[in-house]
Structure 1
Amino acid sequence: YLKKIGRRGKIDIWLVDGAKIRRDLEKDFTNFAEYYYFPIIPKYEFWIDRESVPNERRFFIDHLLAEWRLMDGGMSYQRAKEIANQKELSERKKAGDLEKVINQKSEFSPEKVHRRLLDKTKDEIDIWLVDGRLVRSAFDIGFTEGGHDLVYQYVPKNEVWIDDDVFAKERPYVLLHELYERSLMKSGLTYLRAHRKASRLEWRARHSEQILDEFFLKFLIKKGKI
């Protein structure tokens, strides 16, 4: 726990250290969660990961409230998530996010979410820091931490994206996951198999700096630039 940031009815809303949770408790914890998805969370608490750019909390809280109430009433997680996503997307649209990623042809432009080119691998893969809020608002509400072109059609060819909500000290682990997953998929593995293998490697790297250093050396990436 870092800080209690609110209360909705009988539910306390906590800002938490997501990096520590991913390292020590639950590797799949991302931007936010509640009891019915992660039972490690007390029933009457919402956990929201601290953000490098803290400008989406109201969207996350609206989502959690809808999801929690529906599941508390007996609805399945998948259906509750779909309804909560629609609620969240509606709020994002009202905030004017969609207009920020439309180009002169009135199309959603991936280049509009680029913030900074972090590095390029030896295989000419561009590593971009992107505006995570705009990606979630315009392209994929489920985008968290990072992604690449072999999984997400909206990511341009030969690009890996890192969410700007991820703090700098955690970006190397996210990048390791995405690059390793991408390399496995390029060699023929399905996404699910590649993702599981990448998650295991990420978990090990979070507990061993040597694994991270060796991986970055393999891809000729300077960790300090990430």
Structure 2
Amino acid sequence: MSEARTAQRLLAEGLGTAALLAVVVGSGVMAQQLAGGNVAVALLANTSATVLGLWVLIELLGPISGAHFNPAVTLTLAALRRFDGPVWGYVAAQLAGAALGVWLVHAMFELPIWQLSAKARWGLGAGISEFVATACLLAVVLRAPATKAPGLVAATVGAGYWFTASTFFANPAAVFGRMFSDSFAGIAPASAPGFVAAQLLGVATVVAVVRALTRSRAGAPG
């Protein structure tokens, strides 16, 4: 792969992740301002914007970088040998993009650029939720037909906002970025390691299951 092609893919991942976090956090800020304290309405608004934004970003940037926007996706595809790009370059671009997207939101809403979230989210239920969320997301990513992947991935995230106690982060880069926003979508730094650990456990589990199923099919009689 040429250096120019690699740089293009990394730029797409960084910009895509920045845009995704801008949608997630920005819609959270707007929802918090307009919902009048109604958390359900705020979450509905946050969900709707995230689903639409993610769908558009995957459609636009998928042909360039694969539109991972998520270290869990990149690591899973690499472990299953379905990704030929620079793994750690993708992860670095995703993390940097996540932080930049959050800071862009703060600038747009005239909030302090640098801030840390005070929103504690950790607990057994949240940990289980993040494991389930990551496994569900990866299952869709791995099994969705290419032409239907943008809609299916976006719909999975939207549904996950409502059926998981953690509101379906399923993305270490999202955890990283959202630590830097003391807003509706934020997560306290103290809660972040538990979320990421649960997500990485989800990655390891999905990889193990896929490998086991692949071996089983290979060994089955014709």
Is the structural similarity TM-score above 0.5? no
Task: Pick the structure with more helix per residue.
Answer: 2
Q: Which has the higher contact order (CA 8 A, sep 6+)?
A: 2
Q: TM-score, normalised by structure 1?
A: 0.25
TM-score by length of 2: 0.25
Query: Which protein has the bigger strand share?
Result: 1
